[in-house]
Structure 1
Amino acid sequence: MMDSSLASTSYQQSRTKLETYFDKTARKAWEDLTSDVPVSGIRATVRAGRDTMRELLLSTLPTDMHGMRLLDAGCGTGALAMIAAQRGAEVVAIDVSHGLVEIAQKRTPSHLAIDWRVGDMRSHNLGVFDHVVAMDSLIHYDENDIIGVLKAWSQRASHVVFTFAPGTPLLRTMHFVGKAFPRGDRSPAILPVSEARLTQDIALALPEWKIDFTQRVSRGFYKSQAMGISR
């Protein structure tokens, strides 16, 4: 169950749209994107960008994670969760999409014990963690909802790494132009936000936390900004 105090109409609306998109429209497209099968040129740049981003986020985590608990928030088809589990972490991996979690479960090697879940990544019922990683799961929410999610995680973790869509003129233009591409080459709604404003809001909402790093990954049609915060 979600804590009702975390409820947000805009968050819930965005979450419902994501669930519909990934389960009813794009499950096969994302299964292909996160595999090694040939994809279109546009999606190939997205695949390359996501691979680079995953490596960046993983580089912020210990190489030996035995005795640590990690939340993979918005786990998708599970590549990051599996690597963390291989490092020894106790991994809880959650996504809004039943379909993507099913793909992740099928891909999981038998020797890895990952707690795969479908639900809300903010839920208190997920427990307490050493690390929270959210790769390209907050890019679909506005700035206020991003802060709300970070506040929820701050109650149960001391280290969070996440990505957001940087609010640059180029990215805003690319998102607008992207509406002209065929459905198979479209992403769900991505909401660019200002890095400067997000930084200010984090300082106000989480005064005991500090920003450890911020780094952008740009590969063709993949544009995403990584940020790490800790207490």
Structure 2
Amino acid sequence: MTAGLFDLTGRRALLTGSSQGIGLALARGLAEAGAQVVLNGRDPAKLEAARAGLAASGLAAEVAAFDVTEAAAAEAALAEIEARLGPVDILVNNAGITRRMPALDVLPAVWHEILRTNLDGVFFVAQAAARRMTARGRGKIINIASVQSDLARPGTAPYATSKGGVRMLTRALCAEWAARGVQVNAIAPGYFATELTRPLVEDAEFTAWLARRTPAGRWGRVEELVGACVFLAAPASDFVNGQMLYVDGGMTAVV
């Protein structure tokens, strides 16, 4: 019985921004737990490479290339996926970008680009998925937030603002959809070594700061996010709603 709490056999999961990094690691983890995964990104070639990588490990995946920042594209994609494969039971909103620069140097175009991807995109895809989930009376939505939903550093104003928005959007959607059988939660990663954070990983001064600031004393590994995602996607979390689960090596627990 306990094992069944984390069994995703027969579930279908769409993961945005999953051609690399955290999204791809989560897709692998959900597939290993039994889910049929659908990879999303804007670059069909990168999606195919990601699918091939999963296939080499014996894990099947489908792909759906669309831009999360376009509400009509998200709606069309959900309709196409469900017509082709069946109901989407799990949505992981992972697509996100950042541009590190002083707030005084942030141009309007950069501000809107980050907010459009990191916050608008989360809402548009969640809305498209929830139209179907609420009609069926069940569904799991997992938004990828950040420790910067609560903490800020110089050079991160647009990103931190967008991730703070993800935190409150998660709560707001819980308030509306929980009674209709949909759980909306968030995972807040700390600092993880990925393609996007490579410049920081390779910055000896920053890495030394991170080791001092994080009780665990190191960068996170993307595989260490999988357990939280499986939990929030599985029956084990059926009465967990509107929450943000920090996976940060203790960063937000200390001063």
Distance 1:106 1:194 in 2: 31
Once the two structures are TM-superposed, the CA of residue 159 in structure 1 deviates from its matched residue by: 0.8
Establish whether residue 70 from structure 1 lines up as the match of residue 13 from structure 2. yes
* Change in CA separation of 1:120 and 1:88 when aligned onto 2, cut-off 3 Å: same
C-alpha offsets along residues 73-120 of structure 1, whole Å, 9 cap, x if unaligned? 221233322222222212221211224213313312343221123224
Query: Scaled by the length of structure 1, what TM-score is found?
Result: 0.51
Q: Which amino acid aligns with 2:152?
A: L
C-alpha offsets along residues 152-183 of structure 1, whole Å, 9 cap, x if unaligned? 12123321001135455624x2337xxxxxxx
Partner of 2:144: 163
* Change in CA separation of 1:93 and 1:169 when aligned onto 2, cut-off 3 Å: closer
Q: Which amino acid aligns with 1:219?
A: Y
* Change in CA separation of 1:163 and 1:105 when aligned onto 2, cut-off 3 Å: same
Establish whether residue 113 from structure 1 lines up as the match of residue 68 from structure 2. no
C-alpha offsets along residues 114-155 of structure 1, whole Å, 9 cap, x if unaligned? 112322452221212111112344874254453333211212
Quick check: 2:41–2:66 contact (8 Å CA) kept in 1?
Answer: yes
Seq. identity, %: 17
Q: Which amino acid aligns with 1:116?
A: V
Partner of 1:57: none
Q: 1:135 aligns with which of 83, 94, 118?
A: 94
Kindly report which structure 2 residues correspond to 1:1-40, keeping only aligned pairs within 5 A, or say none: none
Q: 2:162 aligns with which of 188, 193, 205?
A: 193
Q: Which amino acid aligns with 2:89?
A: D
Partner of 2:80: 125
Distance 2:35 2:166 in 1: 33
Q: Which has the higher strand share?
A: 1
Unaligned residue ranges in structure 1 (runs of 5+): 1-60, 177-188
Structure 1's consecutive aligned runs of 4 or more residues displaced over 4 angstroms after TM superposition are: 210-215, 220-223, 226-231
Query: Scaled by the length of structure 2, what TM-score is found?
Result: 0.47
Distance 2:8 2:173 in 1: 31
Distance 1:120 1:215 in 2: 22
Partner of 1:97: 43
Quick check: 2:143–2:170 contact (8 Å CA) kept in 1?
Answer: no
Distance 1:108 1:194 in 2: 29
* Change in CA separation of 1:161 and 1:201 when aligned onto 2, cut-off 3 Å: closer
Over aligned residue pairs, what C-alpha RMSD do you find? 4.1
Quick check: 2:6–2:33 contact (8 Å CA) kept in 1?
Answer: yes
Quick check: 1:138–1:164 contact (8 Å CA) kept in 2?
Answer: no
Q: Which has the higher helix share?
A: 2
Unaligned residue ranges in structure 2 (runs of 5+): 69-73, 99-113, 134-138, 193-199, 201-218, 221-227, 233-239, 243-255
**Matched length:** 157
Distance 1:203 1:70 in 2: 22
* Change in CA separation of 1:126 and 1:142 when aligned onto 2, cut-off 3 Å: same
